[in-house]
């Protein structure tokens, strides 16, 4: 059941990310936030002008793309107004080979950036990372379960959150990362277990019970693995 | 007569002079409907381009000079104008690739590529109250002049005149792109600073061609 390879090549470098903001503090802060859930991804802050003012820098974005793309590609997210112009112009100046591996993604910077970081951490391909970022704009609707088919057998387990943070931040990312290693569609209280934002939108805190389920009976191992992760308290003891 | 890399470098020098001379005017236009930094930013960009000209070799082509303008403007102007003008000169450089001398149709190709680059990057259409409203009439006037058999000097003169009229014609428009669009109806009654700076740059191109023609005595 467990996928043999999440990325096309398990030894391929991870997709990198560049965060373009008018503010250096915003870009740096987003790297700090996303780092909590993506310790192995190259995350580059490209915020502010060359002299530290408010604005975007062609040089910072260009260097960011060069650093973030280790061969598997990079996704570039941006904030306001001219940031997208700077990002797209920087892309114009890289060679054709690399340009094919870099995407400028229209997504909310913070939500999309975090979702993309988790997708990259779990070994997602460039397409999957871009889809994760773009999907973030759908907000809470992301990852809704399709209407249940009463005719299909269902396997589910209800477990109680024991860890401090509940299904939030790092534990949520760990949960999504584990869910992503299985082919099966698994849901948590009706939300897609592979969607970080959907999981975080549950707002499940310590002491809450969540139901992990799948309509796919072959997904028993996935449901069990996720239930055990929750019951283990995410290593927080 | 055709123009060569001397025209291209002279265009850069004259652009730098024009932008420096009109820095305050551009800033005033931009303060009315934008954030007021267009004059300062463009001046910084052209001063950097001027300084970078010294590094251009004797065998530099017009395309090399245009590429130098592209990279220095992108790196030094910032805001939306940096990427927009940078892309314009990048595409113009591409259109001039491999040519030592530029004839009327080459100049039309350069202006068209520059305008197309700006449209591609900024996604503005004519009538949105942006620099496209100066570039588009300039391209059309240059094409018409070249088709009528004009030389490079007359083609660029036509482009500069059309850009200047296009800039003036942005005054009654309501902005639909860029920061001025946040003002809605209140943006009407002001000239677009990007269209105005485009007119300045194309006037500099025409003056450089006229000067080249004078010096060659044609």
Question: Which CATH number goes with the domain that contains A54?
Answer: 3.40.50.510
* Per-state percent for chain B, helix, strand, coil, to nearest 5: 75, 0, 25
Whether residue A63 has pLDDT greater than 80: yes
* Minimal C-alpha gap between A105 and chain B (Å): 15
Q: Based on the domain organization, do A29 and A50 belong to the same domain?
A: yes
**CB spacing of B79 vs A55 below 8 angstroms:** yes
Q: Which of A55, A56, A92 sits opposite B90 (nearest CB)?
A: A92
Answer whether residue A191 is part of any domain. Answer: yes
A59 touching B (Cβ < 8 Å): yes
Last residue of a domain, one of A138, A159, A186: A138
pLDDT at A51: 86
- Within 13 Å and on the Cβ side, how many CA atoms surround A128? 18
A92 touching B (Cβ < 8 Å): yes
B16 touching A (Cβ < 8 Å): no
**CB spacing of A92 vs B79 below 8 angstroms:** no
pLDDT at B200: 98
**CB spacing of A86 vs B82 below 8 angstroms:** yes
Q: Which B residues, 159 through 178, put their C-beta within 8 Å of a C-beta on chain A?
A: 178
- Helix (H) or strand (E) run with residue A210 in it: strand A209-214
* φ, ψ dihedrals at B86, nearest 5°: -60, -45
* Minimal C-alpha gap between B168 and chain A (Å): 25
Answer whether residue A5 is part of any domain. Answer: no
Residues in chain B with pLDDT values less than 70: 218
Q: What's the CATH number where A155 sits? A: 3.30.1340.10
Residue with the larger pLDDT of the pair A199 and B17: B17
Mean pLDDT of chain A: 86
* Active-site residue set of A: 22
Q: Based on the domain organization, do A126 and A147 belong to the same domain?
A: no
pLDDT at A145: 53
Whether residue A1 has pLDDT greater than 60: no
pLDDT at A214: 92
* Minimal C-alpha gap between B1 and chain A (Å): 33
Range of the domain at A223: 142-235
Q: Which of B31-46 are b and which e, b meaning 16 or more Cβ less than 10 Å from the residue's Cβ?
A: ebbbebbbbbbbbbbb
pLDDT at A62: 94
Answer whether residue A173 is part of any domain. Answer: yes
B15 CB-near residues (< 8 Å, 6+ apart): B46, B49, B200, B201, B204, B205
pLDDT at A138: 53
Per DSSP, A234 falls in state G
Number of domains in chain A: 2
pLDDT at A52: 87
pLDDT at A146: 54
Q: Based on the domain organization, do A72 and A22 belong to the same domain?
A: yes
Q: Based on the domain organization, do A86 and A113 belong to the same domain?
A: yes
pLDDT at B98: 94
- Within 13 Å and on the Cβ side, how many CA atoms surround A48? 12
Report the C-alpha gap between B174 and A154 in whole angstroms. Answer: 59
Q: Put the strands of the sheet holding A191-192 in their side by side order.
A: A155-160, A209-214, A187-188, A191-192
What are the pLDDT digits (tens) for A66-89? 999 999 999 999 998 889 999 999
Token pair for residue B165? 């009229």
Q: Which of A82, A89, A93 sits opposite B79 (nearest CB)?
A: A82
B79 touching A (Cβ < 8 Å): yes
**CB spacing of A85 vs B80 below 8 angstroms:** yes
Q: Based on the domain organization, do A85 and A120 belong to the same domain?
A: yes
Q: Please list every residue in chain B whose beta carbon sits closer than 8 Å to the beta carbon of residue A86.
A: 82-83
What are the pLDDT digits (tens) for A96-151? 999 999 999 999 999 999 999 988 988 889 998 998 898 776 544 445 555 556 66
Q: Based on the domain organization, do A42 and A129 belong to the same domain?
A: yes
Per DSSP, A143 falls in state T
pLDDT over 90 percentage in chain A:
56
Q: Based on the domain organization, do A50 and A102 belong to the same domain?
A: yes
- Ramachandran assignment for A62, one of left (phi > 0), alpha (psi -120 to 50 degrees), beta (any other): alpha
**How many A/B residue pairs have CB atoms within 8 Å?**
41
Report the C-alpha gap between A209 and B4 in whole angstroms. Answer: 76
Last residue of a domain, one of A87, A116, A138: A138
Per DSSP, A4 falls in state S
Q: Based on the domain organization, do A118 and A172 belong to the same domain?
A: no
CB atoms within 10 A of CB B122: 24
pLDDT at A151: 64
Report the C-alpha gap between A113 and A92 in whole angstroms. Answer: 22
Q: Put the strands of the sheet holding A102-105 in their side by side order.
A: A43-47, A16-21, A74-78, A102-105
- Are A193 and A10 in contact, with CB atoms under 8 Å apart? no
Q: Based on the domain organization, do A77 and A123 belong to the same domain?
A: yes
pLDDT at A82: 86
**pLDDT tier at A6 (50, 70, 90 boundaries)?**
very low
Q: Based on the domain organization, do A61 and A174 belong to the same domain?
A: no
Q: Based on the domain organization, do A160 and A224 belong to the same domain?
A: yes
Q: Based on the domain organization, do A36 and A97 belong to the same domain?
A: yes
Q: Please list every residue in chain B whose beta carbon sits closer than 8 Å to the beta carbon of residue A80.
A: none
Once rounded to an integer, what is the mean pLDDT over residues A21-45? 95
* Minimal C-alpha gap between A36 and chain B (Å): 32
User: Residue A227, class by beta-carbon neighbours within 10 Å (0-12 exposed, 13-18 middle, 19+ buried)?
Assistant: middle
Last residue of a domain, one of A112, A138, A164: A138
């Amino acid at each position: 059941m467990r996928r043999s390879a999440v990325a096309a090549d398990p030894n391929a470098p991870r997709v990198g990310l560049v965060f373009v903001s008018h503010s250096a503090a915003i870009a740096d802060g987003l790297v700090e936030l996303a780092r909590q859930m993506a310790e192995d991804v190259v995350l580059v802050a490209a915020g502010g002008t060359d002299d530290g003012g408010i604005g975007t820098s062609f040089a910072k974005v260009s260097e960011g793309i060069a650093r973030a793309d280790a061969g598997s590609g990079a996704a570039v997210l941006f904030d306001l107004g001219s940031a997208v112009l700077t990002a797209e112009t920087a892309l114009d100046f890289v060679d054709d080979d690399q340009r094919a591996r870099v995407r400028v993604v229209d997504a909310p910077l913070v939500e999309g950036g975090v979702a993309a970081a988790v997708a990259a951490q779990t070994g997602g391909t460039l397409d999957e990372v871009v889809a994760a970022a773009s999907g973030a704009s759908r907000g809470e609707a992301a990852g809704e379960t399709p209407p249940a088919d009463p005719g299909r057998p269902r396997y589910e387990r209800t477990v109680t959150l024991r860890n401090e943070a509940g299904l939030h931040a790092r534990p949520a990312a760990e949960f999504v990362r584990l869910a992503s290693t299985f082919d099966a569609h698994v849901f948590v209280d009706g939300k897609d277990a592979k969607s970080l934002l959907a999981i975080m939108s549950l707002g499940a805190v310590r002491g809450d019970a969540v139901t992990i389920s799948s309509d796919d009976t072959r997904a028993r191992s996935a449901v069990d693995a996720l239930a055990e992760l929750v019951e283990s308290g995410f290593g927080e003891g | 007569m055709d123009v060569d890399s001397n025209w291209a470098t002279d265009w850069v020098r004259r652009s730098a002079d024009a932008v420096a001379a009109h820095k305050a005017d551009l800033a005033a236009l931009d303060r009315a409907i934008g954030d007021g930094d267009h004059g300062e930013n463009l001046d910084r960009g052209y001063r950097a381009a001027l300084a970078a000209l010294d590094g251009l070799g004797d065998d530099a082509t017009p395309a090399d000079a245009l590429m130098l303008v592209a990279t220095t403007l992108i790196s030094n102007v910032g805001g939306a104008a940096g990427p927009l003008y940078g892309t314009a000169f990048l595409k113009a450089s591409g259109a001039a690739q491999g040519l030592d001398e530029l004839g009327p149709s080459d100049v039309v190709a350069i202006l068209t590529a520059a305008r197309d680059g700006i449209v591609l990057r900024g996604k503005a259409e004519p009538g949105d109250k942006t620099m496209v409203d100066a570039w588009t009439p300039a391209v059309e006037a240059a094409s018409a002049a070249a088709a009528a058999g004009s030389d490079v000097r007359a083609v660029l003169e036509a482009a500069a005149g059309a850009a200047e009229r296009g800039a003036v014609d942005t005054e009654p428009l309501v902005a639909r792109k860029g920061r001025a669009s946040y003002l809605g109806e209140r943006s009407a009654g002001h000239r677009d600073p990007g269209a105005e700076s485009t007119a300045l740059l194309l006037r500099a191109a025409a003056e450089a061609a006229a000067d080249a023609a004078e010096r060659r005595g044609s």
